[in-house]
Amino acid sequence: MKNKVLRNAQWATLKKEKRKVKKEGQKQRKKEAEALGDKAPPKQIPRTIENTREADITTVDRDDEEVTFDITHDEYESYFSKTYVPKILITSSDNPHSKTIHFIRELTKIFPSSECQWRKRSSVKKMIQSAKEKDYTDVVVINEDRRVPNGMLVSHLPDGPTAYFKISNVKLTKDMKYKNIIKEFTTHRPEVILNNFQTRLGQAVSRMLASLFHYDPQFKGRRAVTFHNQRDYIFFRHHRYEFKSQKRAALRELGPRFTLRLKWLQKGTFDTIEGDYEWIIAGKRHEMETSRRRTS
Partner 1 sequence: MENDDIVWSIINKSFCSYKVNTKTQRFCRNEYNLTGLCNRSACPLANSQYATVREEDGNCFLYMKTVERSGFPRNMWEKVKLSKSLEKALRQINEYLVYWPGFTRQKCKQRLLKISQYLIRMRKLRLRRQKKLVPIQRKQDRRERRREEKALVAARLDSAIEKELLERLKRGTYGDIYNFPQVAFNKALEEEEDAEVNMEGDDYGEDEENEGEEPDEDIDEELEKELEEESENEEIEYVEADSDLERELESESDLEDIEPKASNSVKDNTRRKPRLEIEYETETLSKNPKRTV
Q: What is the DSSP string of 202-215?
A: HHHHHHHHHTTS-S
Cα distances from 79 to residues 41, 60, 148, 208, 214, in angstroms, run 51, 21, 32, 10, 9
Alpha helical stretches, state H, 81-199: 98-110, 124-133
Shortest Cβ 165–partner 1 spacing (Å): 13
Distance CA 103, CA 100 (A): 5
Give the residue from 233, 254, 287, 279 showing the smallest Cα distance to 50: 233
Q: What is Dmax (Cα atoms) for the chain?
A: 74
Q: Quick one: 75 or 226, whose CB is closer to partner 1?
A: 226
Q: What minimum distance in Å lies between the beta carbon of 72 and partner 1?
A: 19
CB 178, min distance to partner 1, A: 6
Least distance in Å: CB of 187 to partner 1? Answer: 9
* Rounded least distance, CB 230 to partner 1, Å: 4
Can you spell out the DSSP letters for 217-228?
Answer: --GGG-EEEEEE
Q: Indicate the residue among 68 and 168 with the shorter CB distance to partner 1.
A: 168
Q: Smallest gap, in angstroms, from Cβ of residue 217 to partner 1? A: 8
Q: Which is nearer to partner 1, 29 or 261 (CB)?
A: 261
Nearer to partner 1 by Cβ, of 29 and 263: the residue is: 263
Binding site for partner 1 (CB under 8 A): 48-50, 121, 123, 166, 168-169, 177-178, 188, 191, 193, 195, 216-220, 222, 224, 226, 228, 230-233, 235, 237, 239, 241-253, 259, 261
d(CA 291, CA 72): 31
Backbone angles phi, psi at 242, to 5 degrees: -150, 130
Pick the closer one to partner 1 by CB: 11 or 219. Answer: 219
DSSP letter for 40, please. Answer: S
* For partner 1, the closer CB: 68 or 122: 122
CA dihedral (52, 295, 280, 172) positive or negative = negative
